[in-house]
Structure 1
Amino acid sequence: MRPLHRLLATVPLSLALLGLPAFAAEPQIRPLPSLRQQAEEQQAWLAERLTRVLPALMREQGVDLWIVSMREYAEDPVFFSMVSPTTFAARRRTVWVFHDRGEIGVVRWALGGGSQGGLFEAYRTPDPQDPRGELVGDEQWRALRRLVEQAKPKVIAVNVDPVHAFSDGLHAGEREELEAALGPELTAKIVRRPELPLRYIETRVPAMLPRYREIQETVHALIARAFSREAIEPGTT
């Protein structure tokens, strides 16, 4: 076994190879920015994940159309890695459609709910008498059918998987409604691609690393303080 001091001596080199600065002689507590600043930072991360990570994964998994459908307070696990930091729940029923259009990129449609800060194209009802313009009820399913028919996908991925919980977000009742809306011909194109939501959730982008590094340093600083004589008096504490 290598001595601990030699193992620790390799940490700065390892961090440098990862493009991360090594800890100072003593790790410092790095206060988090305001909630508003945190939201802006997280929104930038989300934009990068949707524009860089998602298209690559869809192509790797051979998926040209991905449907994520859920209801309020029964969200798909992937929901929380695809919404703005100021969005806390699905809107009644939220249906997302991701369509890979090749060189144009992956188009992101939201049928129900908002645009997540402009990252989705939020579909609205064509009814001029509706001041809200929000898709609800059967109109959502009709709009979904129109979108999918226009997209002419070869493969439609949905989140159903008996192994990975993070890939099994399409509830049974929601699946019945979805398949009824699509009809037999389009339903026949549905496939399971459990690695698509799973790997999207787990994948981080480089822009996240500096903040992760600061949080990690804060944790080390708190641990060092908690186990120091500043907080512990032998025989008393």
Structure 2
Amino acid sequence: MSEKANIRNSGKCGFPKILPVREQSNLITELVRDRLDTVLPLAMREAGLDIWIILCQEEDLDPVYKTMIPMDCWSPILQMLIFVDEGDGKIKKYNVSGTDTKDLYERPYIGQLEEKQWPVLLDLVSKRDPKTIGVNIGTVKWSGS
């Protein structure tokens, strides 16, 4: 864990020091990385998931999705995060969308065209023949269409 997260480095009057936004962003990215490496594998195994897919639209970001991305990323149009339990304690993490998630995810597709995203998702899933798939889906279609 980053030393920046140590709230004992307080400012005047004993209040915790507030980090500049750029440092907050870096800290949150590292916290997300830690969560993806430690909590995610345990949660997927406890739920019995071979693959977990989070799908959401620009105007309806899944609440869980927001905890899986860096603080400073824009999430346009269709978002796809795919987590694959590879066994032996490893979870492969994929971002199949135009969102820059830094180096937290592998990016087999970079773009914002839904018709190109879906085949990548299909390929990732069909290569693994999963027994169980968990899916988070938003409820609102982007731009009301």
- Scaled to the shorter chain, the TM-score interval is 0.7 to 0.9
User: Are 2:143 and 1:157 equivalent residues in the alignment?
Assistant: no
* Structure in which a larger fraction of residues adopt helix: 1
Distance 1:91-1:28 versus aligned 2 partners, 3 A rule: same
2:138 to 155, 170, 174: 170
* Partner amino acid, structure 2, of 1:29: F
Looking at structure 2, the residues matched to 59 and 79 of structure 1 have their Cα atoms a distance apart, in angstroms, of: 19
Assess if the C-alpha contact under 8 Å between 2:57 and 2:138 holds in 1. Answer: no
Identical amino acids, percent of aligned pairs: 26
Deviations 1:121-147 (A, max 9, x none): 1122xxxxxxxx525121111111111
The structure in which a higher percent of residues are strand is 2
Quote the RMSD (CA, aligned, Å).
2.4
What amino acid is aligned across from residue 33 of structure 1 in structure 2? Answer: L
Number of aligned residues: 133
Would the aligned equivalents of 1:71 and 1:94 in 2 still touch at CA under 8 Å?
yes
Q: 1:99 to 1:115 in 2, by over 3 A?
A: farther
For 1:121 and 1:49, locate their aligned partners in 2 and report how far apart those are by CA, in whole Å: 16
Q: Which has the larger radius of gyration?
A: 1
Q: Which amino acid aligns with 1:171?
A: T
Relative to structure 1, is the Cα distance of residues 158 and 102 closer, same or farther in structure 2, using a 3 angstrom cutoff?
Answer: same
Match of 1:122 in 2: 107
Q: Which runs of 5+ in 1 are unaligned?
A: 1-19, 125-132, 160-168, 175-237
1:34 and 2:13 correspond: no
Contact 2:53-2:135 at 8 Å conserved across structures: yes
Q: Residue 121 of structure 2 corresponds to which residue in structure 1? A: 144
Query: What pairs up with 1:62-141 in 2 under 5 angstroms?
Result: 62-88=48-74, 90-103=75-88, 105-124=90-109, 134-141=111-118
